[in-house]
Structure 1
Amino acid sequence: MASKSDVRLLMNDGNTIPVIGFGTYAPEYVPAADSEKAAKIAIDVGFRHIDGAHLYFNEKEIGRAIQEKIADGTIKRQDLFYTGKLWSTFHVPELIQSHVKQSLQTLQLDYMDLYLIHWPFSLKSGGEFMPVDENGKIIFDTNVDLCAIWEALEQCKDAGLVKSIGVSNFNRRQLELILNKPGLKYKPVCNQVECHPYLNQSKLLKFCKSNDILLAGYSVLGSHRHKDWVDQTSPVLLEDPVLAAIGKQYNKSPAQVALRYQIQRGVIVIAKSYNPERIKENIKVFDFELSSEDMKLIDGINRNLRYVAIPVFADHPQYPFKDEY
């Protein structure tokens, strides 16, 4: 059994992606400086995939962490895989390339390894990340063409600003919109969605595999971090007795079992923690393998439970979670 933490999967454009990534999102009450500390720890313990986004408001700190780890010889740039995301207020095709360049400048990087459309819905463009009207209602933009946005990402790839392009939070119908686009130059290499044993996304995973698109999972350990987005009364994934019982067999934590489950399904996992001990624990998932019986047991605890539903976006016509998958 491989113990290396840089196991990679082949994407449909020929590039490879580490199967486990370090997630850098944190609620607004977490100081941005903590992102920098956590990212440095993650790189030190073996993470080679850093998952970021403009929306996370910590690109500057994550960029500093990466540069420090390059400068001290821990990594070389080519060893590191960085994922960025296009936020919904920047869905103006002719402005996307300049937005990517701005993120690169903030990150102190020459390119991103992967760039995703963060959400399929568009918000009114401007300086605010969540534009609202005088009544506090979010201002949507319903006139934006997802295919035009995709073409702008294709141009970013051709310009060398990003190596690979994909999507996030897209349902099957929205993926098909891109896949069936006339003149499609590059298919999405992946679709990053919420995915964990309580929401195992089996139908979406099957669809993505049939189209040579990788599925990447966020909130892979469940989520109770954001009170505005997550129902605080929802069950805690890592307290599930099935995960605990399986973990005891392998001398592993429920979190490690949940991560290993996804890796064996071919899902890229974005593991998020700002706790140094948990960051170290989350990377130790390559020295054991779950049996087929254990995999079936974990399949059986699926509840189609979505932690990150973000109901404030539910009125948008491109809100992705109204479809079954």
Structure 2
Amino acid sequence: MSKPINKIEGSASSKMGVETIKLPTGRCMPVLGLGTWLESDCNCLRTPNVHCKAPAVHLQSTDEGQLTAALRTALDSGYRLIDTAFLYQNEAVIGKVLQEYFKNGKLKREDIFITSKLPFTAHAPEDVEKCLNMQLKALQLDYLDLYLIHSPLPFQKEILGQLDALRIIEKI
């Protein structure tokens, strides 16, 4: 059985020729999107304001200006799906660009499909809503269109003691 692919009549996706897939919720998701991984310094194992004290991992990055330019180019070219994650630490930049487009009338919130992800450091039930709210605040949005669990394997907090021991050994 083939997946239903269509264009949303009257939407920005339709006007730009972006095909969509209809989700079970009735919402249509563009089949083409911009992924934003490695567009910011990434403290991939740290979840601020959530109790996990994991070590930081820094990955290759580009600066805020490059991400801003990439987002503007993508949005101006018709991209309507933006994929990000808490771990990418770039949601504030994405939020600024989206607000710029909303305020100048280039886009409406309903024209954009935003996907983000719950980090593996925030799988504890008491951390999920906290983390989501931090992400929404950074993105300057009231809702996400799709929220995924970034990794099905949660961070094991008891491993932190072992990591501290390894850091001491590295210094010797």
Normalising by structure 2, what TM-score?
0.69
**Residue 142 (structure 2) aligns with:** 110
SS of 1:82's equivalent in the other structure is strand
Compute the displacement of 1:99 (Å). Answer: 1.1
Give the C-alpha shift of residue 13 in structure 1: 2.3
Aligned CA distance change for structure 1 residues 86 and 45 (closer, same or farther; 3 Å): same
Which structure 2 residues correspond to residues 229-240 of structure 1 after superposition, within 5 A? none
Could you tell me how far apart the structure 2 residues matched to 1:62 and 1:131 are?
A: 35
1:72 maps to 104
Q: Deviations over 1:241-300 (max 9, x none)?
A: xxxxxxxxxxxxxxxxxxxxxxxxxxxxxxxxxxxxxxxxxxxxxxxxxxxxxxxxxxxx
Task: Specify the alignment match of 1:134 in structure 2.
Answer: 164
> How many angstroms apart in 2 are the aligned matches of 1:68 and 1:135?
46
- For the residues of structure 1 that align with 2:93 and 2:161, how far apart are their CA atoms? 25
Equivalent pair of 1:40/1:66 in contact (CA under 8 Å): no
1: distance between equivalents of 2:60 and 2:100?
24
Instruction: State how far apart, in whole Å, the 2-side matches of 1:97 and 1:34 are.
Output: 30
Give the distance between the partners of 1:97 and 1:121, measured in 2 at CA. Answer: 18
In structure 2, distance between residues paired with 1:109 and 1:101: 10
CA, structure 1 residues 64+99, in 2 after alignment: closer, same or farther (shift >3 Å)?
A: same
**Residue-by-residue CA offset, 1:202-229 (whole Å, 9 max, x unaligned):** xxxxxxxxxxxxxxxxxxxxxxxxxxxx
**1:124–1:131 CA contact under 8 A, matched in 2:** no
Give the 5 Å matches for 1:128-167.
133-136=163-166
| C-alpha separation in 2, matches of 1:131 and 1:6 | 49
2: CA distance, partners of 1:121 / 1:38 = 31
* Deviation of 1:35 (Å): 1.6
Question: How far has the Cα of 1:55 moved from its partner?
Answer: 0.6
Mapping of residues 1-325 of structure 1, within 5 Å: 4-26=16-38, 27-124=59-156, 133-136=163-166
Between the aligned partners of 1:131 and 1:116, the Cα distance in structure 2 is: 29
Q: TM-score, normalised by structure 1?
A: 0.38
Q: Say if 1:136 and 1:83 are closer, same or farther in 2 by CA, change over 3 A.
A: farther
Give the Cα–Cα distance (whole angstroms) in 1 for the partners of residues 26 and 84 of structure 2. 22
Which residue in the other structure is 1:234 paired with?
none
Residue 136 of structure 1: CA displacement? 4.2
Deviation at 1:73, TM superposition (A): 1.7
Partners of 2:28 and 2:138 in 1: how far apart?
25
Summarize the Cα distance change of 1:48–1:31 in structure 2 as closer, same or farther, 3 Å threshold.
same
Cα distance, 1:3 vs. partner? 8.5
Q: Can you give the 5+ residue segments of structure 1 that lack an aligned partner in the other structure? A: 138-325
The percent identity for this pair of structures is: 36
Considering only aligned residues, what root-mean-square deviation do their CA atoms show, in Å? 2.3
What count of residue pairs does the alignment treat as equivalent? 132
Shift of 1:132: 6.9
Match for 1:68: what amino acid? E
Q: Which amino acid aligns with 1:119?
A: S
Is residue 87–residue 117 contact of structure 1 (8 Å, CA) maintained in 2?
yes
Label 1:133 to 1:104 Cα distance change in 2 as closer, same or farther (>3 A). same
Residues in 2 aligned to 1:31 and 1:84: alpha-carbon distance in whole angstroms: 20
Unaligned runs of 5+ in 2: 1-13, 39-58, 168-172
